[in-house]
Structure 1
Amino acid sequence: MPIPFTADDAARLMETLESVVADGATPGGVIAFGTADGTPEYLSAGVVAPECGTVAPTRHTVYDIASLTKVVATWPLVGRAIHDGLLDLDGPIRDFLPAMNGELPSAEATVRQLLAHTSGLRASTRLDHYRGAELPLHELMCREPLDDAPGTHRYINRGYILLGLALAHIHDQPLDELAAAVWDELGMSEVMYGPIGRSGRVAPTEQRIPGAPRIWGAAHDDNAALLGGVAGHAGVFATPRDLARYARHLLTAHADATDADLGEWMRAGLVPQAAIEPGLDRGLSWILAAGGRVAYHHGFTGTSLYLALDSGRYLVICTNAVYHGNARTRIAPLRALALKTISAT
């Protein structure tokens, strides 16, 4: 039986959300929380952005979710491809990409290693360095030398870019179309790859050049932008409502022992693959905390998704904190409280 959040939980979350907004950490934000079998609750503070006037963020405000793309798009697609026999979790990524020639040290990384950030691939990912190259992107990336020995944990985006390219290749279909089909099945009508039109419903992110317009409706991540906004590591936009819906689906699937697709993959994702630091492990994509009872992931722009598997609870944070700079630093108090709250039993 899912354990609901208490009124005190909601009050503390609201107080902290209002505090980070008042401190200038983010123009505003929305928290969605609830249980697998309940109706979501929402907390909101601040404004979407000064460009949008006094418009307050709501459950329908669209946020660039940045690296949550990894668990909202790429991770479920990889799970489905493995279930359908199109990918092998322990097969090298070269087997699922167009044919390549020459020495390809990064091509030997397995799907498991790419998901778990243990591939040893080069950490710095600058796709702009490939401008004007004759070889295709996947081959250029696979020709790069390793930074670390395979098995070493280091969070990088490169592996998820390769996974996105592999998914498109094995299905002979663009990544955004593959993801949209999954989201449609789950009833997630407010999640999409960008670019999307500017409006008061869409939260702007960073101003890169003084005096220039902010990034608004386009991927904040430079590498995703170079890929047209569609990548395995970033580029997805979503609302708090749809992220809450996704969380409920994952919790329900995890609890269903007969679910041989999403449920089986959810349970596989919770098996520790590498230690991050004391108390935190890396699963397949997800960060595992509280002895494996909690799975979560962050997005660079100021988003987070938390799942408490035993208690059947979820919590979503949607902000555009990168509007004011490093979102990781600025909204740290809110993320810390979210993890503490979701981990309580």
Structure 2
Amino acid sequence: MPTLEHPSECGGSGELSAPRLRVDTPEKAGLDPTELRHLVREAHDLTTGDHPWAPGVVVVAGRGPVIAVQEAAGFAVRYASYDPITDTGVELSRAARVPATVDTPFDLASLTKLCTSVAAVQQIERGTLGMDARVGDYLPEFRAAARHGITVRQLLTHTSGLRPELPLYDCRDDAQRLALLRVEPPTGEPGTYLYSDLNMLLLQFVVERVTGRTLDVLVHEGITRPLGMTATGFGPCPGAAATEYQRRPWAKADRGMLRGVVHDENAWALGGVAGHAGLFSTGRDLAVFCRTLLAGGSYGPARILGPDLVELLLTAPGLGFAVDQPWFMGELAGSGAAGHTGFTGTSLVLDPMTETFLVILANTVHPVRRPADSGPRANLATRLARAVRGT
């Protein structure tokens, strides 16, 4: 029976010692093969034409311990630059393009938030961090957060009232960036949902303070290493799919064509390791992450969280995870499915009710960012939901 290999693309090395997810037929996974064939065809269709949804797409889907779909389509690198006058990408020659494969790492963008959340909940499980403790108890120098009584739970549930982001990329140095964050007060009503990258940045600073270790070390030691996710880590990641040709005014910095360095400008300004963005990974590695959570926090002999804490992560309103969001989960939403999306075109959905999971990695921002369109992500998730119902 074929099993997953974990090539060391970036962020670590070593072989997975735990029993691995196996690749098998849809029937062995308890999924309808016709619906999965539709899923694969639609994934390929997303990469075709002069203006594809994404130049490259990787889809990994399965149920229980079985991966029934692992498919790559299109190109990890298709464009050399972007022409704003014609609003088109400047295409590489056919020989210079890089095809996407199932081993291609992608910039995860906001899927990074899921690992930041798990790292924080691990500290809650160990008793070094309080769920309802105030951020000011750990970071008294963050005066605005302390004054307004922002809690760890509010950071995890995006109910702190902090605005979506700050222009940290325009600051002259780290000292100025930290100064901005320390005095930033809530702009929304505390307790009301307002999605914000700042929540995960503050959470990063909290877990780093209580552990004395940086976030990249915490993610490696607490998540990716024990699970054998050897292709997952913060950049640089030279073999990754390309993202954007960044130039002002459409981007927030002048960085040229990006490949293997974080796309998010604030994460880049913070050195590439940030609570809200910065991780690179492959579809296979993220399938292991999904399977671990669906199995209550364990994968083979490794355990990264206890089942009660995993349930807390995935149960509405979710801790870092979004729950039952049809705009990207399609018909998987409605029975407690949890997941997240990333600005670069990524998404992850896992459904504890049916033990199904779907990972979509794409570079929709290559060669330039476009208005968000999560319809394709929702459509692929619907195909998986129907594959469950069709068996």
Alignment of 1:139-154 (within 5 A): 140-154=180-194
Give the counterpart letter for 1:171 in structure 2. Answer: T
Give the counterpart of 1:169 among 209, 228, 236. 209
| C-alpha distance in structure 1 between counterparts of 2:319 and 2:36, whole Å | 30
Aligned length: 326
Match of 1:310 among 343, 346, 353: 353
Q: Name 2:382's counterpart in structure 1.
A: 340
Q: Which moved more, 1:6-15 or 1:293-302?
A: 6-15
- SS of residue paired to 1:268: helix
**Counterpart residue identity of residue 72, structure 2:** S
Q: Distance in 1 between matches of 2:369 and 2:143?
A: 40
Distance 1:169 1:229, change over 3 A: same
Counterpart of 1:261 in 2: which secondary structure? coil
Q: 1:238 aligns with which of 265, 277, 281?
A: 281
Matching residue of 1:79: 121
Is the CA contact 1:303–1:317 (under 8 Å) kept in the aligned structure 2?
A: yes
Structure 2 residue 138 is the aligned partner of structure 1 residue 96: yes
Q: 1:14 aligns with which of 21, 32, 40?
A: 40
- The aligned counterpart of 2:66 is 38
Map residues 48-197 of structure 1 onto 2, 5 A cutoff: 48-50=76-78, 53-71=96-114, 73-97=115-139, 99-100=140-141, 104=145, 108-132=149-173, 137=178, 140-181=180-221, 182-197=223-238
Distance 1:126 1:106, change over 3 A: farther
Question: Which residue is equivalent to 2:272?
Answer: 229
Taking the aligned partners of 1:327 and 1:86, their CA distance within structure 2 comes to 42
In the superposition, relative to structure 1, how do residues 134 and 241 fare at CA in structure 2: closer, same or farther (>3 Å)?
closer
Equivalent-residue separation in structure 2 for 1:328 and 1:264 (angstroms): 38
Matched-pair contact (CA < 8 Å) for 1:121–1:158:
yes
Q: 1:267 aligns with which of 311, 325, 347?
A: 311
More displaced stretch, 41-50 vs 187-196? 41-50
In structure 2, give the amino acid aligned to 1:15. Answer: R
Contact 2:162-2:187 within 8 A present in 1 as well: yes
User: Displacement of 1:141 after TM fit?
Assistant: 1.5
Query: In the TM superposition, what is the alpha-carbon distance from 1:240 to its structure 2 partner?
Result: 0.9
Distance 1:68 1:42 in 2: 19
Distance 1:106 1:120, change over 3 A: farther
The separation in 1 between residues aligned to 2:142 and 2:157, in whole angstroms, is 26
Deviation sequence 1:238-265 (CA, Å, 0-9, x none): 0111011111111112699xx8924222
> Deviations 1:323-344 (Å, cap 9, x if unpaired)?
14446634x3321113323444
In the alignment, the residues of structure 1 paired with residue 148 and residue 133 of structure 2 have an alpha-carbon distance, to the nearest angstrom, of: 10
Query: Match of 1:279?
Result: none
Shift of 1:102: 5.3
Separation in 1 of the partners of 2:174 and 2:120?
A: 28
State the one-letter code of the partner of 1:86.
T
Query: Over residues 177-208 of structure 1, what are the superposed CA-to-partner deviations in whole Å (9 max), with x where a residue is unaligned?
Result: 111112000110000101222xxx42010001
The answer to whether 1:26 aligns with 2:61 is no
* Aligned position for 2:336: 293
Q: Relative to 1, partners in 2 of residues 1:207 and 1:260: Cα closer, same or farther, differing over 3 Å?
A: closer
Provide the secondary structure at the position in 2 that maps to 1:317.
strand
Across the aligned residues of Structure 1 and Structure 2, the Cα RMSD in angstroms comes to: 2.6
2:60 counterpart SS class:
strand
318-327 vs 144-153, which moves further? 318-327
SS in 2 for 1:322: coil
Whole-angstrom distance in 1 between the partners of 2:181 and 2:78? 39
Is the 8 Å Cα contact of residues 243 and 263 (structure 2) preserved in structure 1? yes
Give 1:131 shift. Answer: 3.1
Q: Tell me the SS of whatever aligns to 2:357.
A: strand
Q: Distance in 2 between matches of 1:171 and 1:186?
A: 21
In structure 2, runs of 5+ residues without a counterpart are: 1-27, 80-94, 249-253, 325-332
| Percentage of matched positions with identical amino acids | 32
What is the deviation of 1:128? 3.2
**TM-score, structure 1 normalization:** 0.86
